[in-house]
Amino acid sequence: MAKMESIKEHVNQLSVVIGSRGSTTQKERKAAEYAANVYQKLGLEPHIEQFTSAKPA
């Protein structure tokens, strides 16, 4: 049951706390940082890549 609660917490964080996000927005960056932090806690070495959009967000 702990895994299910953990999944629910991740879904809540990404969909409710951070919310919807478009490309190159601050919310997209926050979601990427959140995911990277989760992966780091699992012992992985995530890398967030920088990119630019043809249109400003």
Three-class SS string for 3-55?
A: HHHHHHHHHHHHHHHHCCCCCCCHHHHHHHHHHHHHHHHCCCCCCCCCCCCCC
Model pLDDT, residue 1: 65
* 32 closest CA partner among 46, 11, 45: 46
The pTM (predicted TM-score) of the whole model is: 0.83
Say how many domains are in the chain. Answer: 1
In a domain, 14, yes or no: yes
In a domain, 23, yes or no: yes
In a domain, 28, yes or no: yes
In a domain, 12, yes or no: yes
Average pLDDT over residues 39-52: 93
In a domain, 10, yes or no: yes
In a domain, 31, yes or no: yes
Q: Is the pLDDT of residue 36 over 90?
A: yes
In a domain, 37, yes or no: yes
Residue-range definition of the domain harbouring residue 35: 2-41
In a domain, 49, yes or no: no
Average pLDDT over residues 16-39: 95
